Amino acid sequence: MSFGFLAPLTLAAMALVATLSGVPPQPVFQSTIRIVDVRGAASLVARGASVLDGRESSAYVSGHLPGAQLYAWSLFTQAGSRRGVLRPDMDALASRFASLGVDQDRPTLVYGASSAGQGEEGHAAWLLALLGHADIAMLDGGIDAWRAAGRPVVTGTTGARAGRFVANVRPGLRVEQAELAQRTTQVLDVRTAAEFAGSTPWGESCGGHLPSARLMDWRELLDERGRFKPASQMRASLERAGVDPAAPLVALCSVGVRSAFVCAALAARGVSLVANYDGSMVEWSATEGAPITRTS
**Span 212-259, pLDDT tens digits:** 999 999 999 999 999 999 999 999 999 999 999 999 999 999 999 999
102 domain residue, yes or no: yes
Domain match, 45 and 143 both: yes
Domain match, 90 and 48 both: yes
Are the beta carbons of 126 and 276 closer than 8 angstroms? yes
6 domain residue, yes or no: no
Separation CA 259–CA 84 (nearest Å): 11
**Span 86-144, pLDDT tens digits:** 999 999 999 999 999 999 999 999 999 999 999 999 999 999 999 999 999 999 999 99
Beta bridge partners of 175: 277
Tell me which of 104, 132, 148 is where a domain ends.
148
- Whether pLDDT at 2 is above 60: no
Beta bridge partners of 277: 175
CB under 8 Å to 42, separation ≥6 — which residues? Answer: 151
205 domain residue, yes or no: yes
Q: Measured in Å, how far apart are the chain's first and last C-alpha atoms?
A: 36
Question: Which amino acid type is present at position 279?
Answer: G
Domain match, 192 and 118 both: no
User: Which helix (H) or strand (E) covers residue 187, if one does?
Assistant: strand 186-189
**Mean pLDDT, residues 79-84:** 96
Domain match, 130 and 178 both: no
220 domain residue, yes or no: yes
Q: Is 160 exposed, middle or buried (0-12, 13-18, 19+ CB in 10 A)?
A: middle
Q: What's the whole-number average pLDDT of the chain? A: 90
Domain match, 185 and 140 both: no
Domain match, 144 and 59 both: yes
What is the DSSP code (8-state) at residue 87?
P
| Range name among 2-11, 107-116, 162-171 with the lowest pLDDT average | 2-11
Better-scored residue on pLDDT, 4 or 197 = 197
Q: What does the buried/exposed string (b/e) look like for 5-25 if buried means 16 or more CB atoms within 10 Å of the residue's CB?
A: eeeeeeeeeeeeeeeeeeeee
294 domain residue, yes or no: no
pLDDT at site 20: 36
Q: Label residue 262 by pLDDT band (50, 70, 90).
A: very high
Separation CA 287–CA 219 (nearest Å): 28
Domain match, 124 and 229 both: no
Question: What's the total number of domains in the chain?
Answer: 2
Domain match, 51 and 132 both: yes
- Whether pLDDT at 3 is above 50: no
pLDDT at site 184: 86
Q: Label residue 209 by pLDDT band (50, 70, 90).
A: very high
Question: Which amino acid type is present at position 178?
Answer: A
Are the beta carbons of 165 and 97 closer than 8 angstroms? yes
Q: CATH number of the domain that 240 lies in?
A: 3.40.250.10
Tell me which of 133, 148, 163 is where a domain ends.
148
7 domain residue, yes or no: no
Better-scored residue on pLDDT, 145 or 15 = 145
Domain match, 136 and 213 both: no
Tell me which of 114, 148, 182 is where a domain ends.
148
Domain match, 48 and 115 both: yes
Q: Label residue 24 by pLDDT band (50, 70, 90).
A: very low
Beta bridge partners of 187: 250
Separation CA 100–CA 92 (nearest Å): 13
223 domain residue, yes or no: yes
**Mean pLDDT, residues 274-281:** 98
User: Which helix (H) or strand (E) covers residue 193, if one does?
Assistant: helix 193-197
Q: What does the buried/exposed string (b/e) look like for 64-76 if buried means 16 or more CB atoms within 10 Å of the residue's CB?
A: bbebbbbbbbeeb
9 domain residue, yes or no: no
pLDDT at site 17: 33
User: Which helix (H) or strand (E) covers residue 21, if one does?
Assistant: helix 8-21
Domain residue limits at 280:
173-285
Closest CA to 164 of 207, 210, 224, 102: 102
